[in-house]
Amino acid sequence: MSVALGTTHPLPVRTTTVRDPGDLLKALPTPAPYAWVRHGQGLVGWGEAARVNVPTGPGRFAWARQWLTDAFADLPTEPGAPRPAAFGSFTFDPATPGSVLVIPQATLTRRDGQTWLTTIGDPALNHATPVTTPGRISYGDGSLTAPAWQHIVAQASARIRHGDLDKVVLARDLVATAEHPIDARLLLSRLASRYPDCYTFSVAGLIGATPELLIRRTGTEIESLVLAGTTARGTDPDDDHRRGQALLASAKDRHEHEYAIASVRQTLAPLCAVLHTPDEPELLVLPNLQHLASHVTGRLADGASVLDVVAAMHPTAAVGGTPTDKAVQLIRDIEGMDRAGYAGPVGWIDSAGDGEWGIALRSGHISGRRARLFAGCGIMGDSDPAAELAEAQTKFRVMQYALEG
Ligand SMILES: C=C(O[C@@H]1C=C(C(=O)O)C=C[C@H]1O)C(=O)O
């Protein structure tokens, strides 16, 4: 079977079972890879059989769906093997360019102990290069200095107390410059080994390890992990436990979480025949932070693809705010930066509409020797700007660790 994918000559497509290659991320031959990996399972890709910049605007997800339908149209699916898949990253703000879809030339998929290699065209053209280290890393302020960012947090809190909106998520950026070009593969390996419970991703230079699963679709079944409400890890087991219990009991964090759950419930309910949202959040304990977490499950009522569900859900209150339109407008007005793919949907979709998409948190955009790192926090009427700044600094550490080891 072959596929044209916008080229003049049809390209051969092959899927074969391969011997377990060990760490998927270690199998990546080039420094600009595609990845979605958790607990050693998932998919990685390299090369580009097809790539498209998705136009900005409210219709971008529908446009992307159509492009995918066309691109997948002639791709064969072998029974029992993974279907052809595309990786994608969408900018947080629909008005901002930078959303991209890519069907790699080679995709290595591991699930349930089996590994497959799908190739489109001739991946023998890809020569493996050794993984390189970025050397010394120096940091500089992004769009706003720390005091300026605390000022906008205070401003947003005042707006919330005034009744203009209920919650807004404000983010900041940090610019890292390395001595040598940054090889994404090294960062991905560090992220996956330090944050095995998170989804380690790489799509067109956007790299990170997000704990937040926006949506997984497997046939008609869907799952989402909603996070909002955060505290640091403790200095010892008692302190850790005390902090976790305090988070569960914190009215500010519980409210923040309820807004996030309400936004997910509101957007998923019309799409679902069955939807289950837990009554109480639980703790998600990560190496650097603890979050309030709710595992949402459901069954889709019709044939919506994972990207249709992403389109309905984004932006959730976990990264935008409540009400969504007012929060997004406030972010545009006061955040003072372009979020690009940060806090946008990132993930993969296959030719049957299954896939997994996360919210691109704990992430950075890498280009040459430069990385722009992002971190944000849910702001409520009683937020303390200094505490929010400290939380953002802790969130930056995920990518700082990826860069520095
Ligand atoms: C916005 C981020 O994280 C989000 C905000 C959280 C919070 O404010 O408690 C928690 C998890 C995420 O939903 C980020 O990591 O940049």
- pLDDT tens figures, 249-272: 999 999 999 999 999 999 999 999
Q: Which atom of ligand 1 is nearest to the CA of 230?
A: 9
* Ligand 1 center from residue 256 Cα (angstroms): 10
Name, in order, each residue with C-beta under 8 angstroms of 103's C-beta and a sequence gap of 6 or more.
5, 48, 49, 50, 51, 71, 84, 85, 86, 87, 120
Out of 26, 48, 78, 167, pick the active-site residue: 167
**Residue linked to tokens 């971008």:** 60
The whole-number pLDDT of residue 229 equals 95
Query: Contact, 61 vs 308, CB < 8 A?
Result: yes
Ligand 1 site residues, Cβ closer than 6 angstroms? 169, 171, 212, 227-230, 291, 318-319, 361-362, 375-378, 395
* Ligand 1 center from residue 61 Cα (angstroms): 24
d(CA 88, CA 267): 21
Structure tokens at 101: 């879809």
Structure tokens at 205: 């230079």
Helix or strand run (H / E) with residue 278: none
Q: How many CB atoms lie within 10 A of CB 317?
A: 27
Residue of 167, 230, 396 to test ligand 1 pocket, by largest number of atoms within 8 Å of CB? 230
Q: Which atom of ligand 1 is nearest to the CA of 318?
A: 13
pLDDT at 109 over 80: yes
Q: What mean pLDDT is reported for the chain?
A: 94
d(CA 15, CA 354): 18
* Ligand 1 center from residue 358 Cα (angstroms): 13
Residue 75 banded pLDDT, cuts 50, 70, 90: confident
pLDDT at 14 over 50: yes
**Residue linked to tokens 């699916």:** 77
* Ligand 1 center from residue 285 Cα (angstroms): 14
The whole-number pLDDT of residue 345 equals 98
Name, in order, each residue with C-beta under 8 angstroms of 326's C-beta and a sequence gap of 6 or more.
164, 165
Q: Which atom of ligand 1 is nearest to the CA of 362?
A: 15
Out of 26, 179, 212, 404, pick the active-site residue: 212
pLDDT at 230 over 60: yes
Residues in the chain: 405
pLDDT at 125 over 90: no
Structure tokens at 70: 């066309």
DSSP-assigned letter for residue 321: E
Residue 396: phi and psi, rounded to 5, are -60, -30
Residue 12 banded pLDDT, cuts 50, 70, 90: confident
Query: Contact, 18 vs 108, CB < 8 A?
Result: yes
Residue 384 banded pLDDT, cuts 50, 70, 90: very high
Structure tokens at 379: 């702001």
* Ligand 1 center from residue 198 Cα (angstroms): 14
> Does residue 248 sit in helix, strand or coil?
helix
The whole-number pLDDT of residue 2 equals 43
Provide the CB-side half-sphere exposure for 326 (13 A, CA).
11
Cα end-to-end distance, the chain, whole Å: 44
Residue nearest to atom 1 of ligand 1 (CA): 376
Q: Poorest-confidence range of 39-48, 123-132, 155-164, 301-310?
A: 123-132
Mean pLDDT of 329-344: 98
Q: Which atom of ligand 1 is nearest to the CA of 378?
A: 8
The whole-number pLDDT of residue 1 equals 42
Any catalytic annotation for residue 212?
Answer: yes
Q: Which atom of ligand 1 is nearest to the CA of 169?
A: 1
Helix/strand/coil percentages in the chain, nearest 5: 30, 35, 35
Mean pLDDT of 113-132: 83
Task: Tell me, rounded to whole angstroms, the distance of Cα 154 from its chain centroid.
Answer: 27
76-99: per-residue pLDDT in tens?
787 888 999 999 999 999 999 999
Residue 126 banded pLDDT, cuts 50, 70, 90: low
Name, in order, each residue with C-beta under 8 angstroms of 172's C-beta and a sequence gap of 6 or more.
142, 143, 144, 149, 335, 337, 374, 375, 376, 392
| Ordered structural domains, the chain, with CATH | 2-129+138-404 (3.60.120.10)
* Ligand 1 center from residue 42 Cα (angstroms): 24
Residue of 227, 248, 258 to test ligand 1 pocket, by largest number of atoms within 8 Å of CB? 227
Residue 278 banded pLDDT, cuts 50, 70, 90: very high
**Residue linked to tokens 């596929």:** 3
Task: Tell me, rounded to whole angstroms, the distance of Cα 97 from its chain centroid.
Answer: 17
Mean pLDDT of 46-64: 96
